Protein backbone atom coordinates (compact mmCIF):
# COMPACT_ATOMS: atom_id res chain seq x y z
CA UNK A 1 0.00 0.00 0.00
CA UNK A 2 1.39 3.42 -0.99
CA UNK A 3 1.51 6.18 1.55
CA UNK A 4 -0.83 8.31 -0.56
CA UNK A 5 -3.41 5.52 -0.21
CA UNK A 6 -3.14 5.87 3.55
CA UNK A 7 -3.75 9.62 3.28
CA UNK A 8 -6.91 8.92 1.31
CA UNK A 9 -8.02 6.39 3.92
CA UNK A 10 -7.52 8.95 6.71
CA UNK A 11 -9.75 11.56 5.04
CA UNK A 12 -12.60 12.52 7.28
CA UNK A 13 -11.09 10.87 10.37
CA UNK A 14 -10.23 13.00 13.38
CA UNK A 15 -8.25 10.34 15.16
CA UNK A 16 -6.57 7.15 14.13
CA UNK A 17 -6.07 4.15 16.36
CA UNK A 18 -3.21 1.88 15.45
CA UNK A 19 -1.76 -1.22 16.96
CA UNK A 20 1.91 -2.13 16.94
CA UNK A 21 2.90 -5.66 17.78
CA UNK A 22 3.76 -5.78 21.47
CA UNK A 23 3.00 -2.08 22.02
CA UNK A 24 -0.74 -2.13 22.53
CA UNK A 25 -3.14 0.38 21.04
CA UNK A 26 -2.43 4.10 20.78
CA UNK A 27 -4.58 6.95 19.58
CA UNK A 28 -3.10 9.77 17.50
CA UNK A 29 -4.43 12.76 15.65
CA UNK A 30 -4.89 12.10 11.93
CA UNK A 31 -3.01 15.32 11.16
CA UNK A 32 0.12 13.81 12.72
CA UNK A 33 -0.06 10.88 10.33
CA UNK A 34 -0.78 13.10 7.34
CA UNK A 35 2.23 15.27 8.11
CA UNK A 36 4.45 12.24 8.63
CA UNK A 37 3.23 10.56 5.45
CA UNK A 38 3.74 13.72 3.39
CA UNK A 39 7.26 14.10 4.80
CA UNK A 40 8.08 10.48 3.97
CA UNK A 41 6.72 10.81 0.42
CA UNK A 42 8.73 14.00 -0.06
CA UNK A 43 11.88 12.23 1.12
CA UNK A 44 11.16 9.26 -1.16
CA UNK A 45 10.83 11.59 -4.14
CA UNK A 46 14.09 13.34 -3.25
CA UNK A 47 15.75 9.94 -2.87
CA UNK A 48 14.59 8.92 -6.36
CA UNK A 49 15.95 12.16 -7.81
CA UNK A 50 19.29 11.65 -6.08
CA UNK A 51 19.49 8.06 -7.33
CA UNK A 52 18.88 9.29 -10.89
CA UNK A 53 21.59 11.93 -10.50
CA UNK A 54 23.96 9.29 -9.13
CA UNK A 55 23.31 7.07 -12.15
CA UNK A 56 24.08 10.02 -14.44
CA UNK A 57 27.35 10.64 -12.59
CA UNK A 58 28.29 6.96 -12.77
CA UNK A 59 27.70 7.02 -16.54
CA UNK A 60 29.79 10.19 -16.88
CA UNK A 61 32.66 8.67 -14.88
CA UNK A 62 32.54 5.50 -16.99
CA UNK A 63 32.75 7.59 -20.17
CA UNK A 64 35.81 9.42 -18.80
CA UNK A 65 37.43 6.12 -17.80
CA UNK A 66 36.83 4.71 -21.29
CA UNK A 67 38.51 7.79 -22.74
CA UNK A 68 41.51 7.38 -20.42
CA UNK A 69 41.89 3.72 -21.40
CA UNK A 70 41.71 4.61 -25.09
CA UNK A 71 44.39 7.28 -24.64
CA UNK A 72 46.63 4.88 -22.73
CA UNK A 73 46.35 2.37 -25.57
CA UNK A 74 47.23 5.07 -28.10
CA UNK A 75 50.25 6.13 -26.03
CA UNK A 76 51.47 2.51 -25.92
CA UNK A 77 51.14 2.25 -29.72
CA UNK A 78 53.13 5.46 -30.18
CA UNK A 79 55.84 4.27 -27.78
CA UNK A 80 56.12 1.07 -29.78
CA UNK A 81 56.56 3.05 -32.99
CA UNK A 82 59.25 5.25 -31.39
CA UNK A 83 61.32 2.21 -30.46
CA UNK A 84 61.16 0.95 -34.06
CA UNK A 85 62.71 4.12 -35.54
CA UNK A 86 66.23 3.46 -36.89
CA UNK A 87 69.23 5.24 -35.37
CA UNK A 88 67.13 6.91 -32.70
CA UNK A 89 66.75 5.68 -29.16
CA UNK A 90 63.89 6.56 -26.85
CA UNK A 91 63.23 5.61 -23.29
CA UNK A 92 60.51 2.90 -23.34
CA UNK A 93 59.03 4.24 -20.10
CA UNK A 94 58.71 7.97 -20.73
CA UNK A 95 59.41 8.31 -24.46
CA UNK A 96 62.27 10.79 -23.98
CA UNK A 97 64.97 10.77 -26.66
CA UNK A 98 68.15 9.11 -25.42
CA UNK A 99 71.55 10.23 -26.63
CA UNK A 100 73.68 7.66 -28.41
CA UNK A 101 76.76 6.63 -26.49
CA UNK A 102 79.84 5.93 -28.63
Q: What is the pLDDT of residues 53-99, one digit of tens each?
A: 999 999 999 999 999 999 999 988 887 777 676 666 767 677 677 76
Please give the average per-residue pLDDT across 14-24, as a whole number. 56
- What confidence score (pLDDT) does residue 27 get? 56
- Identify whether the C-beta of residue 18 lies closer than 8 Å to the C-beta of residue 30: no
- What confidence score (pLDDT) does residue 17 get? 56
Element (H, E) at 17: strand 15-20
Element (H, E) at 71: helix 30-84
Indicate if the pLDDT at residue 22 is higher than 60: no
Q: Which domain holds residue 14?
A: 3-98
Considering the chain, what percentage of its residues have pLDDT values greater than 90?
29
Element (H, E) at 27: strand 24-29
Please give the average per-residue pLDDT across 28-44, as a whole number. 76
Domain count, the chain: 1
Amino acid sequence: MRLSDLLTAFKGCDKVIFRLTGCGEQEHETAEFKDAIEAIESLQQENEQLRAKLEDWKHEVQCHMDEVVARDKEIEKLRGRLVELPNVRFCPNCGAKMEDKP
